[in-house]
Amino acid sequence: MFARDIMTAPVRIVSPDATVAHARNLMVRHRISRLLVMENGILVGILTKKDIAYRMQKGEPAWRRRPLDRIPVGALMTENPVVVQPDTGVKAIARIFVGKNFSSVPVVDAGVVTGIITKTDLMKSVLVRQINMPVGDVMEDIPSVSLHHSLNHVISVMRERNDKILVTNDDGSPAGIISETNLAFYEDEPKISGVMGKEVTIMRRETAGGKPEATLMAVATVTAGDVMTSPVLTISPKAPLLQALALMEKHHVNSLVALENGTVTGIIKRDDIIKEVAK
């Protein structure tokens, strides 16, 4: 199979001058995780949900943590993305994804963008269905945080591991999963832009003496429990990989937590399967 056999077309595009809020709305509306950035018909970049999600870490420059309607797409996008040709083989594309830690590549034919290939598209390949091994042979360990950890800590762990993370209850049992999607498309986004976790001064009603009073109010910090997806879908590490694929497709997810005798033993992700295809 080749790029032209599995690519998604047509592609959704956005201008580098558009706001990130507009781009995020397009992603939500069309249920996609990235947009190609085009200027005067030329591909100049790509904006992904990860670019939007990671901007919220406190260590980032203050301008990156402004509300999304005040940040242009060009400020967060990845410039000059790697592209493939329509006749590029699936295994070669999988190797690009693994080697460069990409989640997508545009397909360009004679300078014209004809489509895009994502990890979801790669899963259409017959090479995936030919992998015959148990989940335990492919799965990875999974980083975890507690329900009460701050959003800043969550993003730090995700960046360090470049991975989604498991959220655990106080007794260590699985409570939820956090991915870039949870962060990029968090419904209460204004809460985590600009004033997140800070103390802000507000003016209260006038007193009997006729003067307004100023007071400090701490803005509640967003925690792991606020942004996670729950419940957690699980599978036995002894289950065949094809069973895991069927479960992912049924529930429209790209990972499953491996659970054995009530204990978390790892996670099986779409990325792990793509690594097998790349071999």
Q: Quote the percentage of the chain above a pLDDT of 90.
A: 54
- Report whether pLDDT(195) > 50: no
Both 170 and 205 in a single domain?
no
- For residue range 105-116, list pLDDT tens digits in order: 999 999 899 999
Same domain, 161 and 210: no
**Poorest-pLDDT segment among 39-48, 96-105, 189-198:** 189-198
Residue 12 and residue 85 in one domain = yes
- Under DSSP, the state recorded for 150 is B
**Same-domain status, 30 and 150:** no
Domain that holds residue 264: 135-184+224-274
Residue type, 247: L
Q: With a cut of 80, say whether residue 182 has pLDDT above it.
A: yes
Alpha helices (H) in the chain, listed in sequence order: 3-6, 20-30, 49-54, 73-76, 90-100, 119-122, 126-129, 151-161, 180-184, 224-227, 241-251, 270-278
In this structure, the answer to whether residues 240 and 145 fall within a common structural domain is yes
One domain, residues 74 and 154:
no
CA dihedral for 170, 175, 179, 184, sign (positive or negative): negative
Task: Tell me, yes or no, whether 167 and 51 share the same domain.
Answer: no
Say if 279 falls within a structural domain.
no
Reduced to 3 states (helix: H, G, I; strand: E, B; else coil), residue 205 is strand
Is the domain of 163 the same as that of 176?
yes
Instruction: Examine the domain organization and report whether 48 and 103 are in the same domain.
Output: yes
Cα(232)–Cα(183) distance, integer angstroms: 17
pTM: 0.73
Single-letter code of the amino acid located at 63: W
Q: Looking at residues 29-44, what average pLDDT do you find?
A: 94
Q: How far apart are CA 89 and CA 86, in angstroms?
A: 9
Token digits for 268?
């099986």
Mean pLDDT confidence for 32-40: 94
CATH number at residue 153: 3.10.580.10
Q: What percent of the chain has pLDDT over 70?
A: 84
Lowest mean pLDDT among 46-50, 145-149, 209-213: 209-213
Distance CA(210)–CA(74), nearest Å, equals 48
Helix 90-100 and helix 270-278: axis angle, to 10°?
120
Maximal C-alpha separation, the chain? 79
Torsion of CA 242, 232, 102, 52, to 10 degrees: 150
